[in-house]
Chains A and B, each alone.
Chain A
């Protein structure tokens, strides 16, 4: 799953640790999501969308087939 997490986080001027603390997850989780190596659970996706004030589908897009 591709995502715009890194750009949006940097747009807020937040570190990966800051975002991890906001979501209540580990920093490694943020690193892996940003690299596209880990698809977060639905609750985390909703929390991300709330943090960045956007819809989930604006954050995540499926890999092109």
Chain B
């Protein structure tokens, strides 16, 4: 097991080598590029009155998530402290699968009922709000189910 003999750290190292500092720096660069792209698209495609402020706010709010995405794509998980060598055999993987399948069923149910409700009542609203709400519900549902399984096993 290569990972067990390799020095591990909190932030790990990149798949292509280098220190944690290198990995974090590259992740920030990737995050900045993604955020700047998102900010640019928001300003160009949207009808904003103060484009520079809108761009800056968009970059500020998306940078942490975008940088985390860059880190997740680049990190060699075998160099992370406390990471199991075979996560697919760990109970956390079983919790994930159960929570995901349960949340999928809930999303189908809520999405179907919601669509039916809107159709019958003729309530109209922005599609963005409806889809965003459904995604938020799915994420919360998954998180609650996962935590419930975790507590049940404790």
A62 at the interface (CB under 8 A from B): no
CB–CB B91/A44 < 8 A: no
Q: B86 contacts which chain A residues (CB < 8 A)?
A: 23-25
Chain B: residues with Cβ within 8 Å of the partner, total of 13
Q: A41 contacts which chain B residues (CB < 8 A)?
A: 89
Partner of B85, one of A24, A32, A38, A40: A24
How near does chain B come to A25, taking the closest CB pair, in angstroms? 4
DSSP class of B's interface residues: helix, strand, loop or mixed? helix
For the A-B complex, the count of residue pairs with Cβ-Cβ distances under 8 Å equals 43
How near does chain B come to A48, taking the closest CB pair, in angstroms? 11
Task: Give chain A's interface residue range (CB within 8 Å of chain B).
Answer: 10 to 19
How near does chain B come to A43, taking the closest CB pair, in angstroms? 6
Q: A20 contacts which chain B residues (CB < 8 A)?
A: 84
Given contacts A24-B1, A26-B84, contact A43 B153 (CB under 8 A): no
CB–CB A38/B94 < 8 A: yes
How near does chain A come to B149, taking the closest CB pair, in angstroms? 10
The docked-state distance in angstroms from the alpha carbon of A15 to that of B86 is: 19
Q: Which B residues from 42 to 95 make CB contacts under 8 A with A?
A: 84-87, 89-92, 94
The docked-state distance in angstroms from the alpha carbon of A28 to that of B67 is: 29
How near does chain A come to B99, taking the closest CB pair, in angstroms? 15
CB–CB A29/B90 < 8 A: yes
CB–CB B4/A29 < 8 A: no
A21 at the interface (CB under 8 A from B): yes
A37 at the interface (CB under 8 A from B): yes
Q: B4 contacts which chain A residues (CB < 8 A)?
A: 21
> What residues make up the interface of B, taking CB atoms closer than 8 Å to A?
1, 4, 84-87, 89-92, 94, 152-153
Q: List 15 A-B contacts (CB under 8 A).
A: A21-B4, A23-B89, A24-B85, A24-B89, A25-B84, A25-B86, A25-B89, A25-B90, A25-B91, A28-B92, A31-B153, A35-B153, A38-B94, A38-B153, A44-B89
